[in-house]
Amino acid sequence: MIVLSVLLLIVPLAMTLSMSFDARDYLGAFPPTDFSLRWYEKFFSDPYLLKGLKTSLQLATLTALVSTALGLAAAVALDRLPGRHAELAISLFLSPLIVPGVVIGFALLLFYARAGVSDTFLRLLGGHVLITFPYAIRTVLAALGGIRPSLGEAAQSLGASPIRTFWTVTFPLAKTGIAAGAIFAFVFSLDDVAVSIFLSDPDRYTLPVALVSMLHANFDLTVAAVAVLIMAASVVLMLALDWIAGLDRVIGAGYYKP
């Protein structure tokens, strides 16, 4: 059973990896006979895809920042609410998770038209913040929840105002969790197609959207090369996260509770 699941997960990735190095200029039978870097070269010389990459990176970075900042603010407030209210508010904040991306994308498209938001980048940013916010708030909440309340009280009894307490005690103790939230938001933003496809226009589009339209127009293995690059970026980010914080600690409960 485990072997089957692993195969199901690994085999498509391995195939994509090997095909991205296929030297043939047509979609030939698997496995490839010769290997080259031609699809990677094509990607890095294709202005259409590069433009998508640039937008995607800008969008993911900004999304991560905005989402984490909002998540942090919300989580700090939630941490102080009495239990029942906090739970209600948290379910509300996490609700975008259960709405399919396609629905969010379409709904946002209608909303933006009504609200008069015409800048495409702004439209994309709004959508991405919406879908990554639940992840950001979850990780930040876990990090804050792990900090014993007595630490904050100790700081206040030593003369630190609530704001100074936040910056000298709460934030330093939660920062790995906050960084984790930012990285999750970045990765999910980089990855999104469902929402972005509704909000992009021919002039401003993300890399995954560009890949989808390429699949429709002229299919070649550049898609595989880009997929491998995105995978590599995700792996690097996750390794970085593991190195900074310890992935199990970031995903699991907090740090300092006995």
Type and span of the H or E element at 22: none
Euclidean distance between CA atoms 135 and 137, whole angstroms: 6
Single out the residue of 24, 42, 51, 148 in contact with other proteins (rule: CB under 8 A): 148
Single out the residue of 164, 201, 219, 236 in contact with other proteins (rule: CB under 8 A): 164
Beta carbon nearer to other proteins, 76 or 160: 160
Euclidean distance between CA atoms 52 and 206, whole angstroms: 4
85 interacts with other proteins by CB under 8 A: no
Among 9, 212, 25, which residue's Cα sits nearest to residue 102?
212
Euclidean distance between CA atoms 118 and 239, whole angstroms: 38
Beta carbon nearer to other proteins, 100 or 172: 172
Stretch that binds other proteins, among 91-99, 106-114, 157-165, 231-239 (CB under 8 A): 157-165
Euclidean distance between CA atoms 95 and 87, whole angstroms: 12
Beta carbon nearer to other proteins, 165 or 200: 165
Stretch that binds other proteins, among 113-121, 169-177, 219-227, 243-251 (CB under 8 A): 169-177
Shortest gap between Cβ of 182 and other proteins (angstroms)?
A: 19
| CB burial of residue 237 (10 Å; 0-12, 13-18, 19+) | middle
Give me the residues that bind other proteins (CB under 8 A), please. 148, 150-151, 153-162, 164-165, 168-169, 172-173, 256, 258
